Amino acid sequence: MNFENKLINILSKKATSPFLFLGSGFSRRYIGLEKWDELLKVFAKQIGKPYGYYNSNANGVLPLVATLIAKDFQKKIWEDDVFSHFCQKYGDMFCSEESAFKYAISEYLQSKIKPYLSDYKTLTKEIEILQKLNIDGIITTNWDTFIDQVFPDYKIYIGQEELLFSDSMLMGEIFKIHGSITIPESLVVTQKDYDMFANKNPYLAAKLITLFVEHPIIFIGYSLNDPNIIALISSIVLCLNSEKMKLLQNNLIFVEFNETPNAIPVISESSMVIGDINLPITIISAFDYEPIYYAINSIQRKIPTKVLRFCKEQFYELILTQDPKNKMAVIDGNNIENTSDIEFLWGVGVVSNQPSSIGYTSIGINEIIQDVLGINKAHLDSDNILKISIPECPGYVPKFKFLRDVGISSIEEMKKSPYKGLELYKKEKLESKAYKKMYLQKYSKKNVSDIIKQFDKDKICFFVMYAKIRPDDIKLIREFLVENFDYYMINNGKYKSYYRKLVCYYDMIAYGF
C-alpha cells in the first residue's frame, strides 16, 4: 500500500473531516517567516544591542528574551527620531510597556504578506491544493494572516478569550489561540503573555475536547517536543475518562519536514508521554506535502465546510429562538393520519406551506449565471426568475438580461413593471476603490485584451472592469467568464465574489439600459 492510500485509510476511519493545527514551521514553509529566535534578533538589532545580551540575561528562555527586548524597545522608540513616524502612527494606541513591541512585530509580519495567494512564488502547487481542502477547521499559534488568505470564508476567533466566550460551531472556523497581527495587543509574545495563556489552558482544553476526540488533528509546523503543544494535549488528557481516551488515540497526526529533497513520504507510529500515559500518535515525514493534501482531499465530504457551518448555525438558531417565524412550515399533528405520512426534511431557506408551481425557488445563483452567459440550454422563464429566483439569491446577481427577455428596456418601463423593487447595479456599486486605484496607478495603459491575456484569472476579475470597453471586449469578457465558471462557482474559487461582480458587470454592458 503506497503512502497516499495508507493516509487515506487512517483518515477514513473517522466519521469527521480533519482539523489542521498549524505552527510556525507552516508559515516558514510558505511565506518564509523567521523562526522565533530569528525574529527576536531582528528587533534586538533595531534597538542596537546584541541578541546575545538578551539571550544570556534570559537564560535562553525565549518568552523572557521577548520581555527584555519589549522593555528596551519601548524606551528606544520614544528617544530615537528614526521611530518618530512609528510613534505618530501607533503611539496613542499603546496601553502597556509591551505594546510598542507587539505593534512593531505586527507591522513587520504584515510586510511579509502578499496581497494575493498567486503572488507567492514558491510551493504554488501546494498552496493551490491547500486552499481547496475541505477540512472542518484550523487551530494555529501563528500570528500572521496567511491562513486567513487561504480560507477566506472561515470565521476567525482571535485569542483565548474570544474562543472561550464564543458560540463557535467547531466547523469552518480558524482559532488563532496566540493572537493575530490584525489585533497587535492579542499577541502572545512575552513571559507575562505565556503565563496568562498557561493559566487559561485548562479552559481552552475543555473547549477543544470534543474537537480532539471526534476529529483527526493534523499538526503541521511543530516539533514533537513543542512545550505549548504538550501542555495543551496534557490539559485535554487530564479531562478524559478511559472511554474518551480510547477515542483520542490515533487521532493525533504530526507532519515532520524531511529536509532530504524529493524524499518519499513515510508514515510511522510513535507515542507521546503524558504523565504515566503513552498516547499513540502517527508521524508523517515528508519533503513534499502535496501527497498529504491529496489524501485529505480524497475523503472530503461533498458539501463544502462553509455551507455545513451555515446550516449548523441556522439550525442552532432555529432551536434557540422562541419565534421561528417563516423558517419552518408546521403541520398540526392531529392532521397526520398514520406514521407512513411522516417525512422529515431539513433544508436551508424559507419553507412555504404552498410549493412553487414550477419550482423556481430552487433555482440559485449558478443557474442564473449560466443562463446569462448562455452556458445552459434550459430556457428559463425570465418572469419567474425575476419574481421568484432572484429575490431569493443573496449577493451580486445579474438582472438586465432577464429584464430584456420580458420586454423591459428602460428605467421608466421598469418603474411601471411588477419588478420595480429589484436593485439595478451601477458600475460604481461593483467597483472596489482599492483595485480601481491600483489599476489607474499600474495598469491604466492595458486594455481588456491585454488584461485577459497577461493576468491570472483572479487579477482579471479584479481589474478588467476598469479598462475602457470596446465593442469586441464584451465577447472577450463573456468567454473568460464561461471558461472559469466551474473554477469559481462549482469549485468555490477564493475570489468567487469578484467573479460574481464581473458577471454583473458583463450583464450591465451586454444587456443594460
117-164 tens-digit pLDDT = 889 989 999 999 998 887 889 999 999 999 999 998 888 999 888 877
Is 300 in the same domain as 195? yes
Q: Which of 308, 329, 344 is the last residue in one of the domains? A: 308
Q: What percent of the chain has pLDDT above 70?
A: 86
Q: Which of 291, 308, 325 is the last residue in one of the domains? A: 308
- Give me the mean pLDDT over the 475-483 stretch: 95
Backbone phi, psi, residue 422, to 5°: -75, 135
Confidence class for position 327, pLDDT limits 50, 70, 90: very low
Confidence class for position 169, pLDDT limits 50, 70, 90: low
At 311, list the grid cell. 446550516
89-105 tens-digit pLDDT = 999 999 999 999 999 99
Is 276 in the same domain as 423? no
- Cβ neighbors of 333 (< 8 A, separation 6 or more) are none
SS3 assignment, position 174:
strand
b/e per residue 291-309 (b: at least 16 CB within 10 A): bbbebbeebbeeebbbebb
Is 379 in the same domain as 422? yes
Classify residue 322: in a domain, yes or no.
no
Count of structural domains, the chain: 3
Taking the C-alpha atoms of residue 396 and residue 378, their distance in angstroms, rounded to an integer, is: 22
Is 206 in the same domain as 90? no
Residue in the structure block whose three cell numbers are 510556525: 24
Q: Which of 110, 134, 154 is the last residue in one of the domains? A: 110
Q: Are 170 and 135 contacting, i.e. CB atoms less than 8 angstroms apart?
A: no
Is 60 in the same domain as 152? no
Taking the C-alpha atoms of residue 464 and residue 441, their distance in angstroms, rounded to an integer, is: 14
Is 103 in the same domain as 119? no
Is 155 in the same domain as 207? yes
Is 139 in the same domain as 166? yes
- Give me the mean pLDDT over the 446-452 stretch: 95
Classify residue 235: in a domain, yes or no.
yes
Residue in the structure block whose three cell numbers are 464581473: 502
Is 128 in the same domain as 96? no
Taking the C-alpha atoms of residue 457 and residue 87, their distance in angstroms, rounded to an integer, is: 40
- State the number of CA atoms in the 13 A half-sphere of 260 facing the CB: 6
Is 182 in the same domain as 219? yes
| Residue-range definition of the domain harbouring residue 131 | 3-33+114-308
Please report, in angstroms and rounded to a whole number, the separation of the first and last CA atoms in the chain. 62
Is 283 in the same domain as 415? no
Sign of CA pseudo-dihedral 484, 486, 491, 497: positive
Classify residue 287: in a domain, yes or no.
yes
SS3 assignment, position 49:
coil
Classify residue 350: in a domain, yes or no.
no
246-257 tens-digit pLDDT = 888 878 999 999
Taking the C-alpha atoms of residue 357 and residue 363, their distance in angstroms, rounded to an integer, is: 13
Taking the C-alpha atoms of residue 385 and residue 399, their distance in angstroms, rounded to an integer, is: 9
Is 75 in the same domain as 188? no
Strand partners, 20: 138, 218
Classify residue 265: in a domain, yes or no.
yes
212-230 tens-digit pLDDT = 988 999 999 998 888 888 9
- State the number of CA atoms in the 13 A half-sphere of 269 facing the CB: 8
Classify residue 141: in a domain, yes or no.
yes
Classify residue 100: in a domain, yes or no.
yes
Classify residue 343: in a domain, yes or no.
no
- Cβ neighbors of 212 (< 8 A, separation 6 or more) are 233, 236, 248, 251, 252
Taking the C-alpha atoms of residue 155 and residue 137, their distance in angstroms, rounded to an integer, is: 9
Confidence class for position 12, pLDDT limits 50, 70, 90: confident
